[in-house]
Amino acid sequence: MRQFIVLLALFYVCEGVTFGQLCSGNPNNRRRTTDGWGQGHFGAGRTNRRHEGLDIVCDDGAVVYAPVDVTLVRKVIVYNKPEKAAIDSGIMMRGEGLCFKLFYVQPDRTTGTVRKGERIGVMLPMQSVYPGITSHVHVQMCDKSDPTPYF
């Protein structure tokens, strides 16, 4: 029963949370649709798996902002493969009752607190690894649930 109450409390904390602008140049958090590399919606098909996040369009080199008031938890290594080293960085954060990760971001720092709309880093050069893809920040919830309702 206690676990149910905690889960119910988390649901209510997160209800109504809306992420703010994630990238400079994309004030409305336009989502990646379909390109030569696939689709960017949650659950999109991948080879032997499904896409576990939501891709928000972000130009290479663009400033990335905190989408809500957050505590930075740690740096994330996305692939750990030499051929993808140029984009092999991200950040895990917690805020508004949520835990989520942003991939393909070089964070300015990896600890501390950041207010909604403040700079947290820079979009890495996705075109150098995936030429022709719609460059984007991949937003993934820590529990791998769908982040779409927060946009």
Task: Tell me the whole-structure pTM to 2 decimals.
Answer: 0.88
What are residue 124's phi and psi, to 5 degrees? -80, 165
Domain assignment of residue 33, yes or no:
yes
Domain assignment of residue 8, yes or no:
no
Supply the range of the domain harboring residue 42: 18-146
Mean pLDDT of 83-104: 97
Looking at the structure of the chain, the number of domains it has is 1
d(CA 83, CA 89): 13
As given in the structure block, the two tokens for residue 134 are 């719609």
Domain assignment of residue 13, yes or no:
no
Residue-wise pLDDT for 131-144, tens only, equals 999 999 999 999 99
Residue 103, classified by CB atoms within 10 Å of its CB into exposed (0-12), middle (13-18) or buried (19+), is buried
Q: Which CATH number goes with the domain that contains 129?
A: 2.70.70.10
As given in the structure block, the two tokens for residue 114 are 């950041």
Domain assignment of residue 10, yes or no:
no
CB 108 within 8 A of CB 121: yes
* pLDDT score, position 11: 45
Mean pLDDT of 72-89: 97
Query: Given a cut of 60, is residue 8 above it in pLDDT?
Result: no
As given in the structure block, the two tokens for residue 121 are 């880093």
Domain assignment of residue 1, yes or no:
no
